[in-house]
Structure 1
Amino acid sequence: MTSHVTLKSWKRLSLFPHSALSFHAGHRGGTKMLLLVIITGLLASVSSKPCDTDGSNQDLLRSLNKNLLRSLDREEGRPNPSIHLALRLSDHHNLAKERDYLNKLKEELHNDIQSSLTNSRPATGILALYSLALKSSCYDLNTVTFTIGDKSETLLTQLKKQMEQEKEHIAFSQRPLTNYYQYSLGVLALCVSSIRVNNHVSHKLINAADQGHFKHGETESIDTYAMAGMALQCVKDSGFYVHNPAELDTALSKIKQKLLASSRTDGHLGNEFSTGLAVQALLAMGSDVADCAASMEAMRTAARNNVYHNPMAISQTLPALQKKSYLTIKSKQCLNEDDSLVLEPTNPPVVVTSTINVNLMVEVVTASGATALYSVDVPKGSSLLESLKLLKTKHVGFTFELESSLWGPFLSSVNGEQARQSDRRYWHLSSDGTALTEGVSDFKIEVAQKISIKNTSY
């Protein structure tokens, strides 16, 4: 919905960007240019490992694709349009399962969005993802409608209205009604569907990129830069922005520089969970991201190490590994598709509870700065969510509540205090001072550590 270190634990609808890895602006002039030249060369260079695009890499892609398909049977909560997008952008398909999931989106997700619109809740990001998912199946978006009051309007009309509200909110408060990640998704979804994007709507995104507004607190969001890059590249390709084409080119150039400058020594852009969208954006903006560029190798290594066990993470990474982006949807034709993906029967996983306990310290910091500290011994390998549930049974004073998102559950309330999106606050999670890049259900407690849960503004 995605770094630093913005956590899945605080994403609403998973449409907060996952990463906001900070790039410190200490480089100036020739030093910065040299850095960008070096990074660009690194991304374009061939890895020292042989580039096996027809062998093990293809096996890995099929394995990720199958894992994504299997996740549909384990899914809890609302269906995820991002998963459908990734399945439809893949080279190989299980068309029957994809059709079933499309129907689920059209029923369950559609009803959920209808409820949000009826109750005047912001729905920009989820509307945009829904439209992209439907278009990836070559579905006629003009037949998809929502009813507000006694008036029925198409999905794309509703999305245009949401974007106008977002634009007006920026003019009034210098920030979108939701955030720039969702705003970028809205621009992208309209553009991919060949809907002319209002110049004023595009200009707000261009201006935000130029002024470096893609942040959460003091950290830059690589996911937001990536989504904005895809959105603005689509606007450029479509010839929609006639106000000042030069400023559009400048914004795209700055976005590309930010993405390249976020490269880590291991090849990831931002972090493991932002690299997929970052590579998608670089591809969309015309960069030659070779099969064995450092970022591609980094994603494959992470995939082989099961870093991408969360379906949402796979859904953003798989298209990039196949050198595709969300812009690919614009020209997608659902003809003569490979239907060879067959899921072999699998044995249910054997859950083994560790007999080794590790100590977990949990610090809760409220919005006022008040601090409470708790201690609990948990089985090694427990998820943070399992550990918090155990802590709740051991300490009467510790409570928490969860909300669901496309990334999984996130903390909404701790010790009776909420961190609400409407107040632009979230629960920031860190371990021994290092911000987590996984949510409460994914992060594992392997060693004794201190987890801080802090009510934070953005």
Structure 2
Amino acid sequence: MQSFIILLGLLAFVSSKPCDTEGSGNSELLLSLNKDLLRSLEQQEGLPNPSVHLALRLSDSHSLSMENDHLTKLKTDLHSDIESSLSHGKSVVGILALYTLALKASCLDLNTVTFTVSEKSETLLTHLKKQMEQEKEHIAYSHRPLTNYYQYSLGVLALCASGVRVNNHVSNKLIKAVEHGHLKHGETESVDTYAMAGMALQCVKDSGSHVHNAAELDTALTKIKLKLLASQRTDGHIGNEFSTGLAVQALLAMGSQIEECAASMEAMRTDARRNTYHNAMAISQTLPALQQKSYLHVKTKACLAEDDTLVLEPTEPTLVLQSQTKVALTVEVVTSNGVTASYSVDVPKGSSLLEALELLQGKNVGFTFEKESSLWGPFLSVVIGEQARQSDRRYWHLSADGTSLSQGIRDFKIERAHTITIKNTSY
């Protein structure tokens, strides 16, 4: 009890200064990020990204015509893809929840959005509730969701932000996961998951529907705040460059006005000026935080008198010349049974890891790979003939010289000699 009081005192102490987003040039930076996100709609490969749409709708500036065009693509292309997944019995709670939040951010009546599965038409929210029930039941007998706690938290948040009363048993499973420290990716605690859980449980608390377990809910929210604060680095990032946006969103949503928040804001601004956030998914999580907003704002968004002045200037096509400088790359593959295979290839400096792997595969030395698409870009699914699938709770963990990569294979650039380790890992 004494240690808990001390922790509460720590939270009160660090809640003395508000998050600071003011400063010269910050508004121009936000506008630039907003335009980058809008421009990504023109360059989007594959299915439309609901996270991008959500961030655009939460922003202060808009190009309503472009956003409406993207909304149409979400309601057709992404909708059809989700419907197909549901028809095949797949667990899609994460993408379904993001789709729900994106439509809610456009102020659509969610009761008019339906999926037809096995010739039966039911609303989007009905399907989301069913997906969450399946996740909850899986936790009950296997102590983990069908997907993961990040997607589970997204599901709780989407239902709550849409005005749906979240089943107490569903939210309790998330509370218990926080209590027992189960919000991990592999063996490492996941800042992104804690952040999403924080927003989800704060929404549940604000709804007033969890009164009989109010103390447990408050304890879970306190623990999440402390976990996020403890994950802050000396440079201001919480976790890493790509988890800070969601972490700040969560802290703002949970009512924190902490002095460390200003450092996190500045860290994200510095990253933005360095073009660290060239991935649209990264921008979509960072921009709301820099505008002092979180996904909880979707719940009260009214879509009235919105600014419609955002205009994209024509961009000149840029010719990217491949570097003549070559760097040595060693690729180690560790299969599920612990066997290691090693390969070497020289690649042009500045190549993406994806380009490097394609060069290595083209050498016909036994290295092969397959990739799949995600909201963050392509990811490895099969390497040298071995799969690492979500359905088996496995993935290919990537590291460079022993340090885990925080970027995907398309975004990580090879600027010097590296040893890249690709390890089949369970979670």
TM-score range, shorter chain: over 0.9
Answer yes or no: is the 8 Å Cα contact 1:44–1:293 preserved in 2. no
Q: Secondary structure at the match of 1:63?
A: helix
Q: Which residue of 2 aligns with 1:423?
A: 392
- Structure 1 runs (4+) deviating above 3 angstroms are 29-47, 289-292
Answer yes or no: is the 8 Å Cα contact 1:36–1:261 preserved in 2. no
* Offset of residue 218 of structure 1: 1.7
Q: Which residue of 2 aligns with 1:8?
A: none
Q: Which residue of 1 aligns with 2:88?
A: 119
Q: Secondary structure at the match of 1:441?
A: coil
Q: Secondary structure at the match of 2:60?
A: coil
Per-residue Cα deviation, 1:43-86 (whole angstroms, up to 9, x for no partner) = 86699xxx783640000000000000111111101110000000
**Root-mean-square deviation (Å):** 2.1
Distance of 1:275 and 1:163 partners within structure 2: 27
Counterpart selection for 1:333 from 278, 302, 309: 302
Q: Is it true that 1:455 corresponds to 2:424 in the alignment?
A: yes
Q: Secondary structure at the match of 2:345?
A: strand
Answer yes or no: is the 8 Å Cα contact 2:18–2:258 preserved in 1. no
Distance of 1:395 and 1:413 partners within structure 2: 16
Distance of 1:308 and 1:318 partners within structure 2: 10
Counterparts in 2 of 1:366 and 1:143: CA distance versus 1, 3 Å: same
Q: Secondary structure at the match of 2:381?
A: strand
Distance of 1:271 and 1:231 partners within structure 2: 21
Q: Which residue of 1 aligns with 2:364?
A: 395
Per-residue Cα deviation, 1:244-298 (whole angstroms, up to 9, x for no partner) = 1110000000011101110000000011100000000000000115797111001
* Offset of residue 396 of structure 1: 3.1
Q: Secondary structure at the match of 2:212?
A: coil
Q: Report the TM-score, using the length of structure 1 for normalisation.
A: 0.90
What is the aligned-residue identity percentage? 71
Point out which structure has higher relative CO (alpha carbons under 8 A, 6+ apart): 1
Alignment of 1:181-330 (within 5 A): 181-288=150-257, 293-330=262-299
Q: Is it true that 1:94 corresponds to 2:63 in the alignment?
A: yes
Per-residue Cα deviation, 1:297-323 (whole angstroms, up to 9, x for no partner) = 011011111111000000000000000
Per-residue Cα deviation, 1:120-163 (whole angstroms, up to 9, x for no partner) = 00010111000100000001101100111121100000000000
Counterpart selection for 1:348 from 304, 311, 317: 317
Q: Which amino acid aligns with 2:300?
A: S
Q: Report the TM-score, using the length of structure 2 for normalisation.
A: 0.96
Distance of 1:176 and 1:159 partners within structure 2: 15
Per-residue Cα deviation, 1:2-52 (whole angstroms, up to 9, x for no partner) = xxxxxxxxxxxxxxxxxxxxxxxxxxx9999989988987786699xxx78
Distance of 1:266 and 1:212 partners within structure 2: 26
Q: Secondary structure at the match of 1:297?
A: helix
Q: Is it true that 1:156 corresponds to 2:120 in the alignment?
A: no
Answer yes or no: is the 8 Å Cα contact 1:229–1:285 preserved in 2. yes
Q: Which amino acid aligns with 1:235?
A: V
Answer yes or no: is the 8 Å Cα contact 1:42–1:294 preserved in 2. no
Answer yes or no: is the 8 Å Cα contact 1:381–1:444 preserved in 2. yes
Distance of 1:418 and 1:43 partners within structure 2: 47
Distance of 2:373 and 2:12 partners within structure 1: 38
Distance of 2:261 and 2:190 partners within structure 1: 25
Q: Which is further off, 281-290 or 68-77?
A: 281-290
* Offset of residue 377 of structure 1: 0.5
Instruction: Give 5+ residue unaligned stretches, structure 2.
Output: none
* Offset of residue 350 of structure 1: 2.0
Q: Which residue of 2 aligns with 1:445?
A: 414
Answer yes or no: is the 8 Å Cα contact 2:236–2:264 preserved in 1. yes
Counterparts in 2 of 1:218 and 1:426: CA distance versus 1, 3 Å: same
Distance of 2:117 and 2:261 partners within structure 1: 50
Q: Which residue of 2 aligns with 1:85?
A: 54
Q: Is it true that 1:107 corresponds to 2:111 in the alignment?
A: no
Alignment of 1:157-172 (within 5 A): 157-172=126-141
Q: Which amino acid aligns with 1:139?
A: L
Distance of 1:411 and 1:259 partners within structure 2: 29
Distance of 1:39 and 1:250 partners within structure 2: 13
Counterparts in 2 of 1:311 and 1:365: CA distance versus 1, 3 Å: same
Q: Which is further off, 281-290 or 226-235?
A: 281-290
Distance of 2:133 and 2:148 partners within structure 1: 14
Counterparts in 2 of 1:46 and 1:236: CA distance versus 1, 3 Å: closer
Distance of 2:280 and 2:380 partners within structure 1: 19
* Offset of residue 243 of structure 1: 3.0
Q: Which amino acid aligns with 2:284?
A: S
Answer yes or no: is the 8 Å Cα contact 2:48–2:77 preserved in 1. yes
Per-residue Cα deviation, 1:404-453 (whole angstroms, up to 9, x for no partner) = 00000000000000001111000000000000000000000000010000
Q: Which amino acid aligns with 1:325?
A: S
Q: Secondary structure at the match of 1:228?
A: helix
Number of residues of Structure 1 aligned to a counterpart in Structure 2: 427
Answer yes or no: is the 8 Å Cα contact 2:21–2:262 preserved in 1. no
Distance of 1:369 and 1:242 partners within structure 2: 49
Q: Which amino acid aligns with 1:391?
A: L
* Offset of residue 349 of structure 1: 2.1
Answer yes or no: is the 8 Å Cα contact 1:188–1:231 preserved in 2. yes
Answer yes or no: is the 8 Å Cα contact 2:238–2:264 preserved in 1. yes
Counterparts in 2 of 1:331 and 1:107: CA distance versus 1, 3 Å: same
Q: Which amino acid aligns with 1:74?
A: Q
Answer yes or no: is the 8 Å Cα contact 1:43–1:293 preserved in 2. no
Counterparts in 2 of 1:52 and 1:255: CA distance versus 1, 3 Å: closer
Q: Secondary structure at the match of 1:450?
A: strand
Distance of 2:239 and 2:265 partners within structure 1: 14
Q: Secondary structure at the match of 2:346?
A: strand
* Offset of residue 240 of structure 1: 1.3
* Offset of residue 346 of structure 1: 0.6
Counterparts in 2 of 1:35 and 1:305: CA distance versus 1, 3 Å: farther
